[in-house]
Amino acid sequence: MADLSANGAITGSNVAVTPLSTTDGRSLKTALAAAQSRAKRRALLLVLPLLLFILISFVLPIGQMLLRSVHNDAFSANMPVLSAWFDENPGKAPDEAAYSALVSDLRQARADKTAGLIGTRVNYDLAGSRSMFTAAARKAPELEPPYRDAVLAINADWGNPALWQAMRSASTPYTANFYLAALDMTRDPQGNIVRVEESRRIYVSHFVKTFVFSGVITAICLILAYPVAHMLATLPLGKSNLLMILVLLPFWTSLLVRTTSWMVLLQEQGVVNNALVATGTVDPANRLSMMYNQTGTVIAMVHILLPFMILPLYAVMRPIKPHYVRAARSLGASSWTAFRQVYLPQTLPGIGAGALLVFILAVGYYITPALVGGASGQMISNFIAYHMQSSLNWSMAAALAAILLAAVLLLYWLYDRLVGIDNIKLG
Amino acid sequence: MSLPIYATPLEKTWHHIRRILCCLVFLFLIAPILIVIPLSFNAEPYFTFTQKMLSLDPTGFSLRWYDALLTTGMHAPEAARGSSWWRDMWEHAQWISAAKNSMIVGFFSTLLATTLGTLAALGLSRPEMPARRIIMAVLISPMIVPIIITATGLFFFYSSIRIQDWGIPYLGIILAHSILGIPFVIITVTATLVGFDHSLTRAAASMGATPWTTFRSITLPLILPGMISGALFAFVTSFDEVVVVMFIASPDEQTIPRQMWNGIRESISPAILSVATILVVFSVLLLTAVELLRRRSEKMRAADTSI
Amino acid sequence: MKKFLALSCAFSTFAFAAQADITVVSWGGAYEKSQVEAYNKPFMAQTGTKITMTSADNPAGPIKSMVESGNVTIDVADLEYTDALRLCDEGLLEPIDPASLPPAPDGTPATEDFLEGAVTECAIASMVFSNVYGFDTTKFSDQKPSTIADFFDLEKFPGKRGMRKTAKANLEMALMADGVAPGDVYATLETPEGLDRAFAMLDKIKGQTVWWEAGAQPPQLLADGEVAMTTAYNGRLFSAVVTEGKPFEVVWDGQVYEYELFGIPKGAPNKDEALEYIKFATGTQRLADQTKWISYGPARKSSLPLVGLFEDGKTEMAPNMPTAEANMKRSLRTSVDFWVDRDVEISERFNTWLTN
C-alpha cells in the first residue's frame, strides 16, 4: 500500500496522454499489479497456516478413511499364492493348481493366525463362508495331495462356484462391492449386479429414513420457529433481547445435558408421564412410551436444532419494515393475503438458510439417536458407528460414510449457493 | 407485535393464539434445561418429583448427589474429611479427573483454534483474498461434516501416524477439538469485520504505522469481541464433544461428556443430574459473557459507522 | 508468556498424575466393582502396580481396532468366550502359557483345577455368568412369570420387555421358549428353518422390546419402570436386589451360561504386568473372593468350597450362582463352535430384522 501513496498527483487530464508512472519510474499499471499481487499473497499467507492444518489433519484423514470403502486387502495380502493364480488364470474354473495354492495359503494363514481375517473378508461377499476358512486352516497342515479331493473332503462347499467367484473378487484389493452392499445390492454367481433378497435389505431404507426424519424435524422446527422469530423481530429491541436469552441458553447448554433432560422427562416413570397420570389424562397402566423410539428422537432433536432455525429467521425478519404489510392491508388485502403475498416472500431467505442448516445437521446426527432412539430411531450415522465399533466391517462403514458425506456436501454446496457460508449466524 | 386497531375479531383471537403458541415454544426450549436443577437435589434416587419435594419439605432435598460426584472413584471416601480426604478426592475422584481432562483439552484446543482461526479470518476478510469462497467452504466444513465421519477419519489417521507415541498427552484430542472449534472462530471474527473500512488500515499505514501497530491499535479492538466469543464457542464445542473422545482418547483421557455418556447409558442416577446442573450454570455464565461482548461489539460498530 | 508456561506446567502434572501402569477394560457397573474389590485392590497392595479400569459395551469391540491400527492402549480385556476364541483365531490376542498359571492350594496343576474348557490358547476364564431374565415383582401381583416361555408370552404377562441387542443368547432363549429341549437348541439353529423359528419367536415381542447394550442397563430399565421384565446378566440382577433392595426376581428357567475370560491384546503396552495380573486374578482365593461382590460362579474347582457370604454378611452365595443345582434344571451352555463360525452372518440377519 505504501508504494501507492506516491501517486497523489493523478489528475483526470493526463490519463489519456502519457502512461502514468510511480516516482521510481515503473509504470503505474505494473506497480498496481505488483501491489495487488502482494496484497493477495499477504491475505493468502494469513489463511495458509489454518488451511494447511485443516487439509492435513481433517480433509486428508477423511479421504484416507473413505479409501477403505474401495480398498480391502485382507484376502489379497494373506492369500498371495491363490491371488496370483487368479491373476494368471482369468475366468478359469479352479484346477488342482488352484487347490494346491489354496492349501499352501491356508497353511501359512494357520501359522500367522490370519484365517479369521481372510474368512471375514470373503464372508462380506458370501455370507456363511467364514467358518469354511477357519475350519480348513485348522486342518491344512495335515492335508495331502491331490489337494482338490482333500479340500472337498473337509467340506463339499469348497466346490461351490459362488465361493470361488467371491474369492476371485476378493483377490484384488480394490473393489466396488462395499458400495453395492451399501445400496443393498450384490453380485450373483455370474457377476451380474442384483438386489439382495428382501429380508436382507437394510441400508437404502435407512438412508431414506434418515432423510425423511431430517425432513420432518426440519419442518417441525420451521413451524415452531416462525411465529417465535416473528414475535422476537417485532418486539422492541430491549424486550426481544431478553427473550432471545431463552433461545440462546439451550444453544449454549451441553448436548448431553439436554439429552439427559429429555430422558428424565420422557421416561415411563418420568416427569411428563407422572404429570399426565396425576392429572388423570393418562391411565397409569398405559403410560405413554416416548423414549427408545422415534418419538423421543424427534422431540429431543427438534429441541436441539430449534435455535439454528430461529436465529436466521430472526436475522431476516428484524429489518423488515411493518409498512409493507400495513400498505397491503390498507389496499384491501386480508391479513392472510397480506402475510402470504407480502411478508412471507421477504422471509424466504431466512427460511432457506434455517431449513438447510437444520437439515444438514440433522442428517449427520449421532448422539441423540444413539441414546434415546432405541431400535426404531436409528439413523445412518448409527450404522456407521455400528460397523466401526461392533461388526468391525470398516470398509462397509467407509462406504456408508462416503454416501452420507456426498449427500451432506451437496446440501452444503446448495447452502453456499443460496445463502452464502459467510451468512451463518451464531446468535 | 401490537395489534392494529382495524383488526377483526378473528384476527384478534388468532393473535392471542399465536402469543400462547410462542410462550409454549419458549417453555419447550427452556423447561428441559431447568427441570434438571431441582431434580438434582432429590433426596431419593428417582428422576421425578417426590411428594416431599412437591410439598417443599426440606427432608425431600439433599446434596447427596453432589457429594457422590466428589466421592466416586476415591480410594477412601469414608475417611474423615481432612486434608488427606481432599487430596484423595483431587487425585482419584472420577468426575474431578474428567473435569481436569476437559479443562486441559478445552484450554489448548481453544488456544489453537482461536489463533489460527483469527489469522485466517483476517485474511479472508481482505478484499484481495483469492479463491475466497472455496477456502471459506473448506474451513467451515468441520462444522457440517457428520461427527461420526470426522471421528472415524481421525481415528485411522492418528493410528497411522502413531500419535500416541509422540509422548505429548492429549495431543490427538486437542488437535481434533481445535478443528471442530475453528469454524466458530472464523464465523464470529469475520462477522465483526463485515463492513470494516479497509481505508482505516491504509490510512494508518500511510501515516507510517507498522503492520503490527496497525493491527494492534485498529483491527484488534474491533475484532476482539468476535475473537472472545469465537473462543468461547470453541471452548464449549470441545467441552461438550463426546464422539471424537470416544474414538481416539486413551482410557486415562476421559472427559466430562464421556463420563456423562457412560453415566446416561448405565444408570442415570441423579448424580448425572447434578453434573448437568453444574453445566447449566456454566452455560448461563458463558451466555452472559457472550451477550455482553456482542453488545459491546454492536456499540463499537455503531460508533464506527457514525464517524 | 510466563504465566502461560506456568499454566501448561500445571496442566502437564495432571497429565502425568493420571498415567496408569496397566489398563483393564471390562463391562462397567456392579461387575466391574466386583473386579476392583476382589482383584485390583489386593493386586495393587501386593505389587504396587496401578490399575486403571475402563468399561465398554463389549470389550472385544475396541481390540481389533486397536491392534490393527497399531495403537493398543489396553493391557487386559475381559472377554466373552466366543469373542476370545475369535480374536485368538484372528491373531489379535497374545498366547498365554497355561503352565504359568498358579496351581491350586493343594498343589493340583492349574490345567486340572480349572473347569473344562476354561483355559484356552489366548485367554483364561475367571468365572461363569449367565443370561437370565428378571422381572419387577410389583408389576405382577397375582401370577408371576416362572418359565422362559412366559417371557415371550405377552398375553399372559403384558408389559415391555428388555433384551440385549445381540443375536447370541436371545435366539437360544427363543427356541427353548418355543419348546426345544436345551440339548437340541444348536442342532435346530443350524438349520434355516430352526433359525426362522427362533426369529419368529422374537417377532412375538419385538414391538414391545427395549434393546439394551451395556450390562448395567437392564437393572436400570427395570428400576425406572421402563420395562416389566428383561434379560440380563444374572450378577447384575442379584446386585440390584441385594445391595439396592430392588423388588426384582430372577427366573433361572432357560438360562444360557458361558465363561468369561481374561485376554491380553496383541502388542499390549505392559504385557508382562498384564500377565501377572491375570495370574493373580485367576488364583483360587481371588476367584472365590469375587463371589463376595457378585453372583458369578468361579472357574476353578478349588474356589468352590471357599464361596461364602455376600459382602452384606448374610446372603448365602451358592444358591445364587448359575451353576447351582436348582438353577440348572433347564439350562444351556453357549456353544462356542456355533457362534464363532456363525456370529457374523447371524448378527447381520439380526440387525436387519431389528431395524425393519
User: What residues of chain C lie within 8 A of the CB of A291, using their CB?
Assistant: 226
What gap in Å lies between CA B170 and CA B102, rounded to an integer? 10
Residue B296 in any domain: the answer is: yes
Pairs of residues, one from chain A and one from chain B, whose beta carbons lie less than 8 Å apart: 285
| Three-state secondary structure call for residue A330 | helix
pLDDT given for residue A427 in this prediction = 55
pLDDT given for residue C261 in this prediction = 95
Q: In angstroms, what separates the C-alpha of A192 from chain B's closest C-alpha?
A: 31
Written as nine digits, the cell of C77 is 480385556
Residue B14 in any domain: the answer is: no
Residue B80 in any domain: the answer is: no
Q: Indicate if A137 and A242 belong to the same structural domain.
A: no
Out of A50, A258, A269, closest to residue B32 by CB: A258
Q: Indicate if A329 and A369 belong to the same structural domain.
A: yes
Task: Supply the range of the domain harboring residue B254.
Answer: 96-306
Q: Indicate if A171 and A217 belong to the same structural domain.
A: no
What gap in Å lies between CA A387 and CA C199, rounded to an integer? 22
Subunit contact C352:A392, Cβ cutoff 8 A = no
Residue B50 in any domain: the answer is: no
**pLDDT (tens digit, 9 = 90+) per residue, A135-163?**
888 888 888 888 999 999 888 889 888 89
Q: Indicate if A401 and A367 belong to the same structural domain.
A: yes
User: What residues of chain A lie within 8 A of the CB of C89, using their CB?
Assistant: 113, 115-116, 134
**pLDDT (tens digit, 9 = 90+) per residue, C74-98?**
999 999 998 898 888 888 999 999 9
Alpha helices in C243-323 (DSSP H): 271-281, 284-290
Chains touching A (at least 3 CB pairs under 8 A) are: B, C
Average pLDDT in chain A:
87
Q: In angstroms, what separates the C-alpha of B276 from chain A's closest C-alpha?
A: 5
Q: Other C-beta atoms within 10 Å of C97: how many?
A: 8
pLDDT given for residue C16 in this prediction = 41
**pLDDT (tens digit, 9 = 90+) per residue, C234-291?**
999 998 898 888 899 999 999 999 999 999 999 999 999 999 999 999 999 999 999 9
Touching check for A241 and chain C: CB below 8 Å?
Answer: no
Longest alpha-carbon distance in chain C? 75
The residue length of chain A stands at 427
| C16-20: average pLDDT | 42
Q: Average the pLDDT over each of A2-11, A71-80, A323-332, C275-284 and give the range with the smallest value.
A: A2-11
Q: Which of C71, C233, C244 to mutate to test the interface with B (most CBs of B within 10 A)?
A: C71
Q: Indicate if A109 and A220 belong to the same structural domain.
A: no
In total, how many domains does chain B have?
1
C contact set with B (CB within 8 A): 7-8, 11-12, 14-20, 23, 25, 28-29, 52, 54-55, 65, 69-71, 73-74, 213-214, 216-217, 220, 224
Q: Indicate if A368 and A234 belong to the same structural domain.
A: yes
Residue A184 in any domain: the answer is: no
Q: Is the pLDDT of residue C50 over 70?
A: yes
Residue A121 in any domain: the answer is: yes
What gap in Å lies between CA B271 and CA B42, rounded to an integer? 10
Residue A149 in any domain: the answer is: yes
**pLDDT (tens digit, 9 = 90+) per residue, A169-198?**
899 899 888 999 899 888 877 778 888 887
Sequence-ordered list of residues with C-beta below 8 angstroms from that of B235, at least 6 positions apart, any chain: B106, B107, B109, B110, B181, B286
Subunit contact A292:C64, Cβ cutoff 8 A = no
| C65-76: average pLDDT | 84
Q: Other C-beta atoms within 10 Å of B67: how many?
A: 13
Subunit contact A231:B19, Cβ cutoff 8 A = yes
Chains touching C (at least 3 CB pairs under 8 A) are: A, B
Angle (nearest 5°) at CA C254 between C252 and C258: 85
pTM for this model (two decimals):
0.87
Residue B85 in any domain: the answer is: no
Q: In angstroms, what separates the C-alpha of C131 from chain B's closest C-alpha?
A: 18
User: What residues of chain B lie within 8 A of the CB of A416, using their CB?
Assistant: 133, 137
Residue B193 in any domain: the answer is: yes
Which residue in C105, C113, C114, C207 sits closest to C163, CA to CA? C207
Q: In angstroms, what separates the C-alpha of B79 from chain A's closest C-alpha?
A: 32
Pairs of residues, one from chain A and one from chain C, whose beta carbons lie less than 8 Å apart: 86
Low-confidence stretches of chain B (pLDDT < 70) are 1-4, 267-268, 301-307
Q: Which of C64, C87, C90 to mutate to test the interface with A (most CBs of A within 10 A)?
A: C90
Q: Which residue of C has its CA nearest to A390?
A: C61
| Three-state secondary structure call for residue C51 | strand
Residue A69 in any domain: the answer is: no
Touching check for B13 and chain C: CB below 8 Å?
Answer: no
Q: Indicate if A209 and A354 belong to the same structural domain.
A: yes
Q: In angstroms, what separates the C-alpha of A196 from chain C's closest C-alpha?
A: 12
Subunit contact B100:C55, Cβ cutoff 8 A = no
Q: Which residue of B has its CA nearest to A234?
A: B1
Find out whether A102 and A75 touch, Cβ atoms under 8 Å.
no
**In chain C, what are the domain boundaries?**
20-128+259-321, 131-256+328-355
Residue B1 in any domain: the answer is: no
Residue A181 in any domain: the answer is: no
Quick one: CA torsion of B180, B186, B192, B196, rounded to 10 degrees?
180
What gap in Å lies between CA C237 and CA B190, rounded to an integer? 56
Residue A49 in any domain: the answer is: yes
What gap in Å lies between CA B204 and CA B199, rounded to an integer? 8
Q: Indicate if A373 and A315 belong to the same structural domain.
A: yes
The domain defined by C131-256+328-355 carries CATH number 3.40.190.10? yes
Residue A22 in any domain: the answer is: yes
Residue B45 in any domain: the answer is: no
**pLDDT (tens digit, 9 = 90+) per residue, A200-225?**
788 999 999 999 999 999 999 999 99
The residue length of chain B stands at 307
Written as nine digits, the cell of A375 is 431400535
In total, how many domains does chain A have?
3
What is the CATH classification number for the domain harbouring B166? 1.10.3720.10
- Cα dist from A238 to A242, A248, A314, C316, whole Å: 6, 15, 15, 69
Out of C58, C348, C356, closest to residue A127 by CB: C348
| A250-260: average pLDDT | 89
Q: What is the ipTM of this complex?
A: 0.88
What is the CATH classification number for the domain harbouring A231? 1.10.3720.10
Domain boundary among A126, A159, A176: A176
Q: Indicate if A401 and A329 belong to the same structural domain.
A: yes
Q: Indicate if A42 and A79 belong to the same structural domain.
A: no
Q: Is the pLDDT of residue C17 over 70?
A: no
pLDDT given for residue B55 in this prediction = 84
The residues in A 17-46 lying below 8 A from B, measured between CB atoms, are 36, 39-40, 42-46
pLDDT given for residue C251 in this prediction = 94
Task: Supply the range of the domain harboring residue A137.
Answer: 74-176
In CATH, the number for domain C20-128+259-321 is 3.40.190.10
Residue A251 in any domain: the answer is: yes
pLDDT given for residue C76 in this prediction = 95
| Three-state secondary structure call for residue C258 | strand
